[in-house]
Amino acid sequence: MSYEKVAKAKSLRIGTKQTVKALERNTVSEVIVAEDANPAIMNVVAELAEHKMVPITYVDSMHKLGRACGIDVKAAAVAIINE
């Protein structure tokens, strides 16, 4: 389900750095995080999302998350932007 949500989203920020920047700008409606990503890096995203009260959804695969975003590389985190 979450992969479909990402694929259908009109505006995304793909990757950890872009997700953190979007969270800092308060433009995120939901964060999707891959469970197989580096835990140290993903804790930063999860803590910031919790602080900003943005829902976090976990998916099982960075590879599948990247494909859902329409890219040919893995994605550890994706931010769905408010519309």
Among 11, 1, 22, smallest CA distance to 69 is for 11
Look at residue 1 in the predicted model and tell me its pLDDT: 62
Pairwise CA distance, residues 36 & 13, whole Å: 19
Among 28, 25, 41, 33, smallest CA distance to 2 is for 33
- pLDDT bin (cut points 50, 70, 90) of residue 50 is very high
- pLDDT bin (cut points 50, 70, 90) of residue 83 is confident
Phi, psi of 4 (to 5 degrees): -65, -40
Neighbours of 1 (CB within 10 A): 7
The distance from CA 17 to its chain's CA centroid, rounded to whole angstroms, is 10
Q: Where are the domains of the chain?
A: 2-81
pTM (predicted TM-score): 0.92
Q: CATH homologous superfamily of domain 2-81?
A: Ribosomal protein L30/S12 (3.30.1330.30)
